[in-house]
Structure formats: C-alpha cells, structure tokens
Amino acid sequence: MTFTSSGVYSITFSIQFANSSATMYDAQVWLRKNGVTSALDVADSNSRFSITSKHGSTNGHVIGTVNFVMSLSAGDYIVLAWSAENTSVVIETTAATTGTPTAPRTPAVILTAVQV
C-alpha cells in the first residue's frame, strides 16, 4: 500500500491462515517499509499466530488481526511480509457458501489505513 499524503496512520490488517496438516504450526507476519528486503523490516512489528491443525477433512483456520499506528511520508509504502514453519500453512481466500447458512467469500487479506 502506497501513501500519497504524509501523516500518522492507523494501519490494520487481517489475514486468514489455513493449515492442511494434522499438526498445529505457527505463522508470523510483520511490516516492511519502502522495500522487500529484511533490512527494511519495521522494528517490533512481528506477530506470531498458532494455526490450528486440520480436523477430519476440514483445514484448520485462524484469522490474525493486528493494528499499528505509524508516521509515514508521502510516497512511503508498506509491505506485509510473512512466513510459516511448514508449507501446509497458507494464506487462503474461502469461496462464498450457498448452503445453509449462506455466507459471502472470505478474503485472504484485508488491509485498511486511516489517517489519524
């Protein structure tokens, strides 16, 4: 996300993780500012989530949500970086359901930024 105006922003993201393994695994998410290399990681921005294991034929799911307040300049951009301790953990969009109950699609990532 690129910011066109300088200011202080409240940045919130939610990520839907899925785990297809019978073992619980952790995932981490953090912010990077103005690049994609680890040298540009935002200090103290990492969050760790334990992704529940698969139960029966249903993958385990966790929605991790975090909020940050940051001072940004016009032209700055934020990248969400992530890793998981096993490849069975993914960031997943879930299709809308048409049975009972019906529900809209669940996006993999929701990111909002509000100037405060």
Identify the pLDDT of residue 37. 87
Residues 51-93: tens digit of each pLDDT:
999 999 999 999 999 999 999 999 999 999 999 999 999 999 9
Q: Is residue 2 part of a domain?
A: no
Q: How confident is the model at residue 99 (pLDDT cuts 50, 70, 90)?
A: confident
Q: Across residues 98-105, what is the average pLDDT?
A: 92
DSSP secondary-structure letter at 75?
A: T
Q: Across residues 89-116, what is the average pLDDT?
A: 95
CB-facing half-sphere around the CA of 25: CA atoms within 13 A: 20
Q: What is the CATH number of the domain that holds 46?
A: 2.60.120.40
Structure tokens at 72: 């940004």
Identify the pLDDT of residue 106. 95
Domain range for 35: 7-115
Number of domains the chain is built from: 1
Q: Across residues 22-30, what is the average pLDDT?
A: 98
CA angle 9, 48, 22 (to 5 degrees): 140
Q: Is residue 24 part of a domain?
A: yes
Distance CA 15, CA 111 (A): 9
Q: Say whether pLDDT at 40 is over 90.
A: yes
Q: Is residue 87 part of a domain?
A: yes
End-to-end alpha-carbon separation of the chain, Å?
A: 17
